[in-house]
Amino acid sequence: MPRHFDQPAGKVRHRTQGRGSGTPAFDSARWQARLDALLAAHHVPGAALAVLAGGGIHELASGVLHTQTRVEVTTDSVFQIGSVSKGYTAALVMLLADAGKLDLDAPVVDVLPDFAVADAEATKTITPRQLLNHTSGIEGDFVSDTGRGDDCLARYVDGARNVGLTNPPGATMSYSSTAYNVLGRIVEVLTGRTWDEALRELLCAPLGLEHTMTLPEEVLRFRAAMGHMGEPGEEPSPTPLWNMLPRSAGPYGGICATAADVARFARLFIDGGTTPDGTRVLSAEAVEAMLKREVEMPDQWSLGAHWGLGWGLFEWDGMRGFGHDGSTFGQLAYLRALPEAGIAVALLTNGGAAAPKVFEALCRELTAELAGVSMPEFGPTDEQLDVDPAPFVGGYRREGFLMTVTDRPAGEGVLRVKYEGADGLKGTFEPLFWNLVPVSDTPSKTVFAGRRNEQDGWIPVVFYALADGSRYVHFGVRATAKSR
């Protein structure tokens, strides 16, 4: 039975549900020690890990929920899962498509007549499919606090009519949280429920997700993680507020859950749309559509080589998988699943700049042991590439952000990126800098590996052109056009 906040935490730090069937035995004590060691080495205050393997869900917890209160993380602690929430919104949309209530390829305005973005022609043509696979072109980082009322999403979508485009619809993939809020509003209109209610009634209830929620008053029933922020190598500090996202962020990033509940949700797609007791939640066709390669990613490393309808899609040693990352202010979440092997790994953390390294180590080791696959690493190769920096130097701009690419001093052979706020976000954060090293150069795109300092991991920075010849950089899974 799960331990709630008003029950003694005891000393139990791991729990296993279900029975194994054919995969190597899960050594809870060894993985607990590994999780403990990684958190300590990378200054991550606390984390919960759930692994679906052999038909069972194995739960581990480590560290503290808050560095000042020192309350222990337990397996029933809830974390903010950030953009992993998008997979849930996508599933709700596919439920509607399953029921014949939504045509994914008809214009959004057919369902939301008042929907509009700044580009009038794009407004007429953008489809739910393009919202799902991130090819709508809608600027992705529109944040608007429209209050705590049940009309918050309707007001958000109304306010998005001044949001511009990163690129023409369908021209390239550019990650858009804004698009997922439009999808959330479609869910509301077609179900007659708020997005929160639809999530609870149409997904959480049939899947038995008793520790998945969206509102603070629901979170307060359980142990809840506090976010922490800090520079690499430092002990992070608690964020000033538990959650700095407005309620209107729900469809793109507002879910809180335990790691085990995230693994249970992933299991829905591994099991072809049914629950463990055989109850059908999504049709097999809907699951297949969500995991079908819809769009090739310019950046093929951050979230996968392709995008489906709600999930990033990857292939490791010939084995296909899906997943998503999520981040809020001071919390980071990760999900990777390999349906063929019946494996899912969900890691929820409450901060630390090096949390990605914890996830990469755990996921690589777990999938190697349990599925026999190698999770690829990204970074510079030993080969010294001779790349002319001139075509990439210049300014790249999208709404709220400016990237300036400059050549480094002679002899260093790399570029430098300055990332800063622009327009309404100008001066809201200190500029960030990445040094870039070339990784590959082809006629269609040039890939660089970037990092801020030697303690950071490498991230992909991809320069490419659209069909019309316009130059773009893919950075942070977002497309940004060259402006000068």
Q: Is 83 a catalytic residue?
A: yes
**Which amino acid is present at 268?**
L
Q: Give dist(CA 224, CA 136) in Å, integer.
A: 35
**Which amino acid is present at 419?**
Y
Q: Give dist(CA 41, CA 441) in Å, integer.
A: 35
Element (H, E) at 402: strand 401-407
- Helices 355-371 and 28-42, packing angle to 10 deg: 160
Q: Give dist(CA 439, CA 448) in Å, integer.
A: 5
Do 118 and 161 contact (CB within 8 A), yes or no? yes
Q: Give dist(CA 257, CA 93) in Å, integer.
A: 20
Q: Kindly give, in sequence order, each residue whose CB lies less than 8 Å from that of residue 459, ignoring residues fewer than 6 positions away.
A: 302, 378, 434, 449, 450, 451, 476
Q: For residue 315, what are the CA distances in angstroms to 70, 319, 339, 442?
A: 40, 5, 11, 21
Q: Kindly give, in sequence order, each residue whose CB lies less than 8 Å from that of residue 424, ignoring residues fewer than 6 positions away.
A: 400
**Catalytically annotated residue among 62, 83, 144, 174:** 83
Catalytic residue list:
83
